[in-house]
Amino acid sequence: MRDRRSYFTCFPSVVCVGRRTTVSIVPRDNSRRFHAEKEYEVCIFGIEEDQISYHPPLVYDYPYEIREGCLCFTKAFEEEQEYEIRFHEKGVKKDEVIPLYAVEEDLHALRPLKGDFHAHTYYSDGKDGITMTPADYREEGFDFCTVTDHNRRYTSVLASELYDGVKLGMTILPGEELHTPGTSLHIVHVGGTGSVADRYVNHNEEFLSETESLEKRLSEIPEPYRRRFALAAWTCGKIRDMEGLSILAHPFWKPRKYNVNKEFGDLLFDARLFDALELFGGIPDLNCNLQLGLWQQQLVKGNFIPVVASSDSHDHNATVEYFARRFTLVFAKDNTASSITDAVRRGRCVAGFLPRGDAATGIVPYSEGSVQFYSTDFRLVKLAHFLYRSYFAETRRICLTEGVLMRRYAEGEEVGELLSSLGDSVENFYRRYYGFAPAPTVSGRVADFLDKALEQQRKGPTTKGTSIVGNSRRE
């Protein structure tokens, strides 16, 4: 089933505020190209502009020109917001509506990426293998993924090593989910240079010595929580030493069996131990809502911790509730592990929550109202909604072929060269979408072919349904 989309798009669709930019309205189907001999009417307005009535007048007077089958105009967008471009052929009342977003220079310089920081394979307690997990994520339109098996990092390294020598469009980050002995806290470690689990699994005496020494220095922490606090501080410290990202995972996973109570939680958040909170994960919606309330309470207290969302996936089948429905949008300098983790630390991330959708088919809806986004930065929430229904809906289609080829490569087929040839596909689209590369046109052999088709159409006959209603030649 295909997602609903417009017959037209524009390049760039994300522009820099205050910069005069030439925008090209490009037909998705080349048969809908614009013709210089026809007249069009164009209207542009910001959706957050102040209005004094429910139905403000629309003024179709913006100048344009037709270039190689595209409708082009030049404009400096003065405020950061979403804009609507409305246009129609003169004499035709129905508008085509194309969205565009203007951002300040700081956001325009960052690349939007979609990913998951928390997933498991059957090398811990999941059902999917390390060779197929990255392919499954790419097929769903993800730019990065992280294998975080329990108390082991090597599986995430192997998931990446399988594709050594192949140019991929996605990044496979190293990771592990940590369970230090003596606490029920789950801490996800992403992107570090080594394994923290190895320190307490294979170097237990050193681990006990370091944590006991730390515990003795925490006299200000109430005794019932002192040991557990020391373990959390030791774990996050080791992650930091390894240049990794520390994420507090699902603090409301199983109330009365596994949860972080209010007093202990306040101690953890007040100490700013973690780089991020897993706001939504592979837990029921009620528990996710409790975590949302917890985060909001911490914001009121002044603890501005970035939030991410992850599937905590143990199974990638279509009927599974969380895979590809909990995800994080990151605004990073580029699609590398260091840029991704740095963006989260700086709060340039948005936690995404998508309802289950169709249980029978597993179809994930991409409609504007179906997804929920949360961030410490409202600017990112607004931009995320725009990108989700336009940019990420399109890159998901582009990623599909690459994900299928990654799976075939993991199965042993000799498709490495073909897979590498697609490695820049999403980045090339991103560069057009943000205006760093020229917009496509309807020209060359395609235009010549369409001219022949148009000539045949003009010869007629004119029809309505199955009936001939006009002369054999169109005037």
What is the pLDDT of the chain when averaged over all its residues? 90
Q: Give buried/exposed letters for 107-132 (b at 16+ CB in 10 A, else e).
A: bbebbbbbbbbbbbbebbebebebbb
- pLDDT tens column, 361-402: 444 444 545 789 999 999 999 999 999 999 999 999 999 999
Task: Name every residue whose Cβ is closer than 8 Å to that of residue 452 and which is 6 or more positions away in sequence.
Answer: none
Domains in the chain, please, with CATH? 8-108+432-468 (2.60.40.10), 111-423 (3.20.20.140)
- pLDDT tens column, 281-317: 988 888 899 999 999 999 999 999 999 999 999 988 7
Cβ–Cβ under 8 Å, residues 194 and 169: no
179 confidence band (pLDDT: 50, 70, 90): very high
Please check the confidence at residue 10 and state whether its pLDDT lies above 60: yes
Backbone angles phi, psi at 258, to 5 degrees: -140, 110
- Helix, coil or strand: residue 73: strand
Interhelix angle 262-270/223-241, rounded to 10 degrees, is 40
3-state helix, strand, coil in the chain (%, to 5): 35, 20, 45
CA separation for the pair 458, 474 (Å, rounded): 5
Backbone angles phi, psi at 241, to 5 degrees: -60, -30
- Helix, coil or strand: residue 358: coil
- Quote the pLDDT of residue 244: 98
- pLDDT tens column, 62-71: 999 999 999 9
Start-to-end Cα distance in the chain: 39
